[in-house]
Amino acid sequence: MTDAVAGEVDLDVPLLGDPVADLVALSDRTRSVQLRHPWLTDVPPEPLRLGPHGLDHVEYALRAMTPVALPGGAKLEIVGLTNALITQLVRAELQGRTSESGRTTNADGGTSSTEGKAAERNAAERNAADRRAAQAIYLSRAAARGDRPQLAAALAEQRGAELTDAPEVLFRRTMRRMLTGLLVSDGS
């Protein structure tokens, strides 16, 4: 079942030759599939779980990293870390979509009627945005007390909207930062 869903990730997208951009784009497409199938975040990782579609996914990611001067083992680690981070960020995003009824909605809203889906999705997005704004206020107040100077410095260096960015913006930024750091040869 997981391999069938892995087949939904579009691997026909031509690579641009920029490993970070290519892997962020692949991550974004993988995120979209996981959001359509929330149960995937509950599937525990298992060695050798890869079926034909999973192998195609790994092959595509490795092709994207062809220009990178890292050993094959390091590239495979990057694929694993990337997929683990995608799952973790999707899990957090789905938990943020919990509707007032207590149900977690998927990317389609999680209800049966089209109107109900749209209304529930809009309410969940407003609730998630409100929670992000409340978290930003909480962090700012905690930093202003003066007993957390590192937090205060980090918040002072950050652009205003960063704490309240939408999940897809946070996802792409996090993936880009993580991949940029990992795709640098460490000399080993």
Number of domains in the chain: 1
**Ramachandran angles phi, psi of 84, nearest 5°:** -65, -40
> Is 146 contained in some domain?
no
Sign of the four-CA dihedral 173, 1, 115, 98: negative
> Is 139 contained in some domain?
no
For the domain that residue 95 is a member of, what is the CATH number? 1.10.357.10
Reported confidence tier of residue 139, pLDDT bands at 50, 70, 90:
confident
User: Hey, is 82 helix, strand or coil?
Assistant: helix
Q: Is the pLDDT of residue 123 over 80?
A: no
> Is 158 contained in some domain?
no
Average pLDDT over residues 174-180: 89
pTM over cut 0.85: no
Distance CA 160, CA 153 (A): 14
Write the CB contacts of 100 (distance below 8 Å, at least 6 apart in sequence). 123, 127
Q: What pLDDT digit, counting tens, does each position of 126-138 carry?
A: 666 676 677 778 8
Other C-beta atoms lying within 10 Å of the C-beta of residue 187: 5
The β-bridge partners of 98 are 104
Q: Do residues 105 and 97 touch, judged by C-beta distance below 8 A?
A: yes
Write the CB contacts of 116 (distance below 8 Å, at least 6 apart in sequence). 109
Q: Taking phi first (over 0 means left), then psi (-120 to 50 degrees means alpha), and beta for anything else, what does residue 86 get?
A: alpha
> Is 69 contained in some domain?
yes
Distance CA 121, CA 35 (A): 13
Q: Which two tokens stand for residue 74?
A: 């390091």
> Which has the closest alpha carbon to 27: 118, 75, 90?
90
Average pLDDT over residues 85-105: 74
> Is 138 contained in some domain?
no
Q: Is the pLDDT of residue 155 over 60?
A: yes
> Is 127 contained in some domain?
no
> Is 131 contained in some domain?
no
> Is 100 contained in some domain?
yes
Q: What pLDDT digit, counting tens, does each position of 62-88 carry?
A: 999 999 999 898 899 999 999 999 999
Write the CB contacts of 11 (distance below 8 Å, at least 6 apart in sequence). 56, 57, 60
Which residues span the domain enclosing 114?
A: 2-118+167-182
Q: Do residues 145 and 52 touch, judged by C-beta distance below 8 A?
A: no
